[in-house]
Structure 1
Amino acid sequence: MIKSNIAWVTDTTATLSPEFIKQHNIYVVPLFVIFGEIAYKENIEISSTAFYQKLASAKELPKTSQPSPGEMLELFKEIKEKYDHVIAIHVTGALTGAYNGAISAAAETGVDAFVLDSLIGSFPLGKMVERAVALEQQGKAFEEIVAEIKSLPAKGRLFLTPGSLEQLHKGGRVTGTQTVLATLLNMKVILKFHEGRAILCDKVRSHKRAIAKMVDYLEVEKNYVKEVTVIHADNLKEATQWKTILQSQFPHISFSITELSPVPGTHAGRGTIGLAWLGE
């Protein structure tokens, strides 16, 4: 059997379009969201729309889970039979086990693999995959692609003002002290990803100021950015309004709207909104 050159692997938090996945034969490993005793593969067995509807009426907050080691191992065994190399790009390894699972599966199967920790997730992760695939389309060899994409994690940006501090606290994403302080003072917080973790970077007095602060971050980097997404969790109306305003304010940037997939949406909470991009 003649093998193909590079197998591409990522996970469901990347929110890649079905068309892109099919066109480039991307292997997408599912993460899980768990309601009670039932586990769903995000974006496969439960859509974002269905997830947020279910979340709104849930008596208990759902939990999340990484891919099983066995599932990742079977995937890499399959890939080894068909491809010479693997490039896997996953959601931040600081918050879930997909990255470490891929490293373990590659080592156990002996496949020639490069596994990249994106240090982020969602839109920036998906853009890393798209840029890496584009390098292959340009005729770059495996080693050349690996050398170029190593710099991508440092260019990813994701800022969020969460819809639920309670969910962040219960999920271990923010400390109890910070949660209580922000609630008592009726403050809005802004999270950003730094070295793979979501950290609290700002506290402001209103939602409007939180939005303005995130725009300030974009203003600083606007000359190095071509695409930005307004990211949200069941907050399409505000995301659409904000996108229109931003498109007028930054006419050289292409804006889109992305809904957080169920796993990050579980922790951020309904109503979350933010900005994300991958710098040039």
Structure 2
Amino acid sequence: MPSIRIMTDSTADLSPELLQAHGVRVVPLLVQFGEETYHDGVDMDTGRLFQMVTERNQLPKTASPGPGLFRSHFEEATADGSQVLYISISAKFSAALQNARIAAADFPGQVHVFDSRNLSTGIGLQVLHACDLVRQGKSVEEILADLETYQAGVRSSFVVDTMEYLHKGGRCSGVAALVGTLLKIRPVISVVDGGMIVAAKVRGPRKKALDWMLERFAEDAAQGRVRPERVFVTSPDSPHEDAPYMVAEIRRILPEVQEVLVTRAGAVIGSHCGPGTIGILYATR
């Protein structure tokens, strides 16, 4: 039986250490400032991104690489006869899935493309779960069937600290951004059905918004729904000042959790959420 290689894109926000440990290959998405194009996680990270946004007073555009680049990644990964499972950012957020499928058509039965219907480490959870299944000796068909169920249980929520990026990115009006700032309203963004929704608008100290997310986690944990293998705390900031509090609370709520992984979001995700954002991402059953 040929080996199975798991591949994803840079929006999965997995650390270099995790990628290396699990043998995951990454296709970088693109960040564009005017005529300048950068590769997420290669020559652009969130530190540089936020500095450029401040200096230029504009947000970059983000884009998927074309089918040709996906094809070259697939060619390299399948050269020894291996099968490839590419787990993509949600089709509602990027053309990556569509472009990957176009490229995969040149590798019938060898390259398989799966829509995570998520973003950031909401994708990362599915990628690492697929790696677990590969180690268990599952076939590609078995992994795809399992991921369909696993995917539906992934919970991804983020507290957005500043409304500036949402405003500049056209995701809220100037009035809404101003009112939100003046009233200290902190939106909690969640991923539902492959898209983003405002799950809550928490007014007051930042900790109230963090606790809102942790309360949802605690509700799932109390019902025995949280899968204990791993929970992610993800932010475009490194380190994020609230990460230790989030990790400690997660371990208090779910003592049997095997790993609480703190990761840094990449430039594509950071360009949409802005600095200060922090999220909790986990899988339920």
Shorter-chain TM-score: which interval? 0.7 to 0.9
* Residue in structure 2 matched with residue 98 of structure 1 by the alignment: 96
1:83 paired with 2:87, answer no
1:35 paired with 2:38, answer no
CA contact (8 A) 2:89 2:123 kept: yes
Query: How far did 1:53 drift?
Result: 4.1
CA–CA separation in structure 1 for the residues paired with 2:133 and 2:160: 35
- The runs of 5 or more residues in structure 1 that have no matched partner are none
Matched residue count? 278
- Alpha-carbon deviations, 1:20-70, whole Å to 9, x = none? 434554321001222343222111112344434444444322221112222
TM-score normalised by L of structure 2? 0.86
Work out the percentage of aligned pairs sharing the same amino acid.
31
Closer/same/farther in 2, CA of residues 191 and 177 from structure 1, 3 Å limit:
farther
Query: How far did 1:111 drift?
Result: 4.6
* Residue in structure 1 matched with residue 203 of structure 2 by the alignment: 205
Deviates more, 1:16-25 or 1:27-36: 16-25
TM-score normalised by L of structure 1? 0.87
1:237 paired with 2:241, answer yes
- The runs of 5 or more residues in structure 2 that have no matched partner are none
Query: How far did 1:248 drift?
Result: 3.3
Deviates more, 1:170-179 or 1:25-34: 170-179
CA–CA separation in structure 2 for the residues paired with 1:258 and 1:266: 16
Query: How far did 1:79 drift?
Result: 3.8
Which amino acid is 2:3 matched to? N
Closer/same/farther in 2, CA of residues 177 and 108 from structure 1, 3 Å limit:
farther
CA contact (8 A) 2:218 2:253 kept: no
Query: How far did 1:127 drift?
Result: 2.0
Closer/same/farther in 2, CA of residues 243 and 101 from structure 1, 3 Å limit:
same
Closer/same/farther in 2, CA of residues 177 and 110 from structure 1, 3 Å limit:
farther
Closer/same/farther in 2, CA of residues 55 and 175 from structure 1, 3 Å limit:
closer
Closer/same/farther in 2, CA of residues 103 and 162 from structure 1, 3 Å limit:
same
Match of 2:274 among 258, 269, 273: 269
Which amino acid is 2:118 matched to? I
Superposition pairs of residues 180-195 of structure 1, within 5 angstroms: 182-183=180-181, 185-195=183-193
1:218 paired with 2:223, answer no
